[in-house]
Amino acid sequence: ASCMLTVFAFYLSNQCASEYKAPYIEELEEQMQKIHEERASANLERRAAENDDEMEVEVAVNAATSVFSKKGSSAEMVAAATSAAQAASAAVREQTNQSVKLDEFGRDMNRKKHMDMTKRADRRKARFDSKRISSMELDSSNQRIEGELSSDESDSELQLFEHRQKSLIQIADEIFSDAAEEYSQLSVVKEKFEKWKRDYSASYHDAYMALSVPEIFSPYVRLELLKWDPLHEDVDFFDMKWHSLLFNYGVPNDGSDFGSDDADANLVPELVEKVALPILHHEIAHCWDMLSTQETKNAVNATNLVTNYVPASSEALSDLLVAVRTRLADAVANLTVPTWSPLVLKAVPNAARVAAYRFGRSVRLMRNICLWKEILALPVLEKLVLDELLFGKVLPHVRSITTNVHDAITRTERIIASLSNVWAGPNVSGERSHKLQALVDYLLLLGKTLEKRHVIGITESETSGLARRLKKMLVELNEYDNARDIARTFHLKEAL
């Protein structure tokens, strides 16, 4: 009996110790959330600044379009449109430069903004020039174009966030340092309760301890999960100390499995649902950059990790998947892909670069959404990728540049590559989605355009190379009959 009282007293003392530490742990969690949110906000601000920079090009495009709509497309009109575009750009720059806004130290904030804008423009130009794909490539389907690569933080920004995280984790490591030794480590606490279950199983059961231990162990798990950064690293719970300690908690001494009425079997899944899943939900809802391929890969891996433990019936898991769909839908809605004509692209300085960048960004988002193929239902993917993004924004863009057949084929290759393993590629079997017919029709239109090679001014050898790339894209979409037609039309000898 005295042993029983000792164990129960330990249980009560542990509860008191945990309740005493709870506010400190909550404060640390809030601080870590804030660090992650600020990191995400810095990235959004960078992207917003780039969008603001592109407004100058938008204004110039509108001016040029207005000229073309009134006067046609002769060489004189192209020159007039270029002049109108340059004048509109100059007016925007003048408006940006003329106002002086001083900060508390007397520095002109608008001058700094203008200098930053110039630096960003120079960086974009350098990236565009270095990544420009030669239209003479026989196969550029594996290469990336401008806008497809995720924006990276500067080294100094990354170091700052890592320093702040490290400082917070060091504080977390000291949370239980002033507690009695028997409460200071999860391993010690776990051993005490396992001993209770082993030596006094009836009283352990009568006290409904299986319902209490998740709450008892939770503070220690929460402290360790402060280190978990699911968007920026791919880590398995198996590699965490709390998981290795608690994975076999309460298993019978003889090595047999848990009894059917032993709720301790659900300890780790419950901790994942109650502690880890809310962390992931917050990261996805408030910090995830849907245009970052690396963050998206990590988010997918973390979601798969959680679903290994949490039942499909879980309301918290359902809420997480709703957050994923909502964020992706917002990203699609906020994306604009220009449909500027080749005349406008020729007349307006930097318009071609902005159009290529926005197209590349849309392809990156398509590819990132497809990474969720094992988690989101196919109808959800179809709505986001095919209905809203491909047909609503991306296909209109490539249709607008059809006469520039080199760029049109290169960009269509990127579209099909982004659909790989969901709607395109050798791993996709079964009937092709009828929703892809518009994409197939566009490929056939490019074939018709290539047939008029003398009109669009390309050589026979160039035509053969471009036709091979068209044929390959049709094969990727399982359109073998159309691929054979292309091969016959352009006298391509090799097998499909």
In this prediction, residue 135 carries a pLDDT of 36
Q: Which range (146-150, 323-327, 399-403) has the least confidence?
A: 146-150
When pLDDT is cut at 50, 70 and 90, the band that residue 255 belongs to is low
Residues 21-47, mean pLDDT to the nearest whole number: 92
Start-end of H helices in 72-180: 75-98, 109-131, 155-172
**Contact residues for 407 (Cβ-Cβ < 8 A; gap 6+):** 135, 401
Q: Which range (88-102, 232-246, 270-284) has the least confidence?
A: 88-102
The domain boundary, picked from 95, 113, 131, lies at 131
Q: Is 135 exposed, middle or buried (0-12, 13-18, 19+ CB in 10 A)?
A: middle
Please tell me the pTM assigned to this model: 0.86
> How far are the Cα atoms of 88, 342, 343, 482 from residue 403, in angstroms, in the given order?
27, 8, 11, 21
Stated length of the chain: 496
pLDDT at 411 over 80: yes
pLDDT tens-digit map of 15-25: 555 666 788 99
Residue 4 neighbours by CB distance under 10 Å: 13
pLDDT at 299 over 70: yes
pLDDT tens-digit map of 59-103: 999 998 888 888 766 788 888 888 888 888 888 777 766 555 666
In this prediction, residue 138 carries a pLDDT of 37
Q: Which range (122-131, 372-381, 416-425) has the least confidence?
A: 122-131
pLDDT at 226 over 90: yes
When pLDDT is cut at 50, 70 and 90, the band that residue 134 belongs to is very low
**Contact residues for 209 (Cβ-Cβ < 8 A; gap 6+):** 11, 193, 196, 197
When pLDDT is cut at 50, 70 and 90, the band that residue 467 belongs to is very high
pLDDT at 111 over 80: no
> How far are the Cα atoms of 15, 108, 190, 299 from residue 241, in angstroms, in the given order?
21, 52, 12, 22
Residue 389 lies in a domain: yes
pLDDT tens-digit map of 427-458: 877 666 788 999 999 999 999 999 887 666 78
Residue 158 lies in a domain: no
When pLDDT is cut at 50, 70 and 90, the band that residue 127 belongs to is low
Matching residue, tokens 């330990």: 10
Residue 20 lies in a domain: no
Residue 107: both structure tokens together: 């520095």
CA–CA distance, 18 with 96 (Å, rounded to integer):
56
Q: How many CA atoms does the CB half-sphere of 396 hold within 13 Å?
A: 12
Residue 361 lies in a domain: yes
Work out the angle at residue 390's Cα, subtended by the Cα atoms of residues 437 and 376, and round it to the nearest 5 degrees: 100
pLDDT at 137 over 50: no
The domain boundary, picked from 63, 96, 131, lies at 131
pLDDT at 348 over 90: yes
Give kind and range of the element (H or E) at residue 201. helix 201-206
Domain count, the chain: 2
In this prediction, residue 139 carries a pLDDT of 44
In this prediction, residue 109 carries a pLDDT of 60
When pLDDT is cut at 50, 70 and 90, the band that residue 198 belongs to is confident
Residue 400 lies in a domain: yes
Question: Which range, 6-10, 151-155, 352-356, 396-400, is most confident?
Answer: 396-400
pLDDT at 203 over 80: yes
Residue 21 lies in a domain: no
Residue 420 lies in a domain: yes
Range of the domain at 74: 46-131
Residues 28-36, mean pLDDT to the nearest whole number: 96
The domain boundary, picked from 107, 131, 155, lies at 131
When pLDDT is cut at 50, 70 and 90, the band that residue 382 belongs to is very high
Contact (CB, 8 A) for 204 and 216 = no
Residue 278 lies in a domain: no
pLDDT at 12 over 70: no
pLDDT at 118 over 70: no
Residues 110-133, mean pLDDT to the nearest whole number: 57
Q: Amino acid identity, residue 254?
A: D
Phi, psi for 18 (deg, rounded to 5): -65, -45
Q: Amino acid identity, residue 337?
A: V
Residue 195: both structure tokens together: 């001993």
Phi, psi for 102 (deg, rounded to 5): -90, 140
